[in-house]
Chain A
Amino acid sequence: MMRIACPNCGLRDEREFAYGGEAHIDRPELDCDDQAWEEYLFLRANPKGEHAERWVHVHGCGVWFNLIRHTETHEVVAVYVMGVARP
């Protein structure tokens, strides 16, 4: 069982959380070209290694936050609040 440190509640089991996709993806202007829109919607880093991603403490305090997790070891390397740059 993976354990994740919620910024509010501390270390909890993975089943209290929901994954919300890759972090730091900005929506382009609506008059962007098809390529920019495709990148925004579909193209992802999907690394075998450290991945910046969004999670929500859905069965807890409900907060959304970012974390950096290693996709092979599942080690959570950093947890940080929404809106700040990747550490």
Chain B
Amino acid sequence: MSRYSAFALLRNWLGGNTDWDPVWRSPEPASSYDVIIIGAGGHGLATAYHLAKHYRPGRIAVIDKGWLGGGNTGRNTTIVRSDYFYKESADFYDHSLRLYASLSQELNFNIMYSARGILNLAHSRHEVDFQRRIVNAMQLNGIHAELLGREEVLKFCPVLNGDPNARFPIYGAMRQKRGGTVRHDAVAWGYARAADALGVDILQNTEVTGFRRDISGGVQGVETSKGFIGATKVGIATAGHSSVVAQMAGFRLPVASYGLQAFVSEPVKPVLHTVIGSAVIGSYCSQSDKGGIVCGGGIDPYPSFAQRGSAATMEKVLAGIVQLVPTFSSLRLLRQWAGIVDYTADSSPIIDRSPVPGIYLNVGWGGGGFKAIPAGGEAFAHLIAKDEPHPLTTAFGLQRFRDGALIDEAAAAGIEH
């Protein structure tokens, strides 16, 4: 892998940009690997990278039915933060945010981490009290966050709807300054390039259709659209399709899959220098470097694998955006899309062994797993290599559903993560 640098840019420019190396190879599948990861999203690719770099378990492949980064990793609204309530989540997500801060150097690929801050608005006295509780919890978890009063909010972000008679007047906000955005495609591409350089085979356009197991029940490999590929360790990182792949292996998961939509407007001059969102209104947005207003909100309210999005939800989310920033009502949308996200009952992920020996799970990220990619990859690599959970993810096992030991972030923080 040739390193990217200012010097490389200059040299290649002088050479007419004709001899850049391909960013990754497109190998044919080998007949078997030591570890196979299903799903070349951020989590699958980061896992392969950490496995190859730190654990060296032998030959590794990442298999995807489409193109790498074509799932939710390439469809999200790029927001990263660690403003969680429970200690278990705070430790894990803050570790992830810290890894993001140095990931461009680690991967030699500019992921464009922008710590522009994230502002969650409060629209009533009660919400202000609620935010105080969350901020206190965060401080106790060692994560800095702050409360802003109404005047501070409007001074910091003047495009917000400051009308005291608005349907949702602004009473204040909580802010995590280190939160912000990261270029999503760059995360997939950066990990793919680094993993490929360490010898990982990334097999695109290869759909997993089943599992082969030995008489004791352990996994022997996967059936794919390109034939059987052997492996005695298989990781599942297929996001919205986790239950579909689990069913192929003969077990059920405590997840339900929904469509989650995002929208981007035509580009305009810089108007919004931070991420804004409101739990009550159920919408959030930020401005991309290209100038588009990137908008998101809640999931479509019924299970779906359509990857299309409901018009009723679209109207609701966008009406919320216009509540937040009335001037955005004159913007035109450029694109709308959806991804399929798998939600657990407590909105926390599952990083654990599965009921089938040799099959491991990194699923259940719902609408909030982009921010978790660096730590998710690190923890999943640890789990697969050592067959025991990473210390940061011991609380995120399957057993919690049987024990009732949920980490219920959605209920605790009032935000759909």
Contacts and interface: CB of A to CB of B under 8 A. Distances in A.
Interface of A: 1-2, 13-15, 18-19, 34-35, 37-38, 41-48, 51, 53, 69, 71-74
Interface residues of B, number: 25
A2 B342 CA distance: 21
B20 interface: no
Given A47-B247, A48-B244, 13 more contacts: A14-B312, A19-B302, A35-B402, A37-B402, A38-B401, A42-B401, A44-B243, A46-B243, A46-B256, A51-B303, A53-B302, A71-B304, A72-B306
11 contacts: A35-B402, A37-B402, A38-B402, A42-B344, A42-B345, A43-B254, A43-B401, A44-B254, A45-B243, A53-B302, A74-B306
Contacts of A71: 257, 303-306
A46 B243 CA distance: 6
A43 B252 contact: yes
B301 interface: yes
B280 interface: no
Contacts of B402: 34-35, 37-38
Interface of B: 241, 243-244, 247, 252-257, 301-306, 310-312, 342, 344-345, 401-403
Contacts of B311: 1
Contacts, number: 67
A43 B350 CA distance: 13
A31 B246 CA distance: 29
A45 B303 CA distance: 11
B312 A73 contact: no
B303 A41 contact: no
Contacts of A37: 402
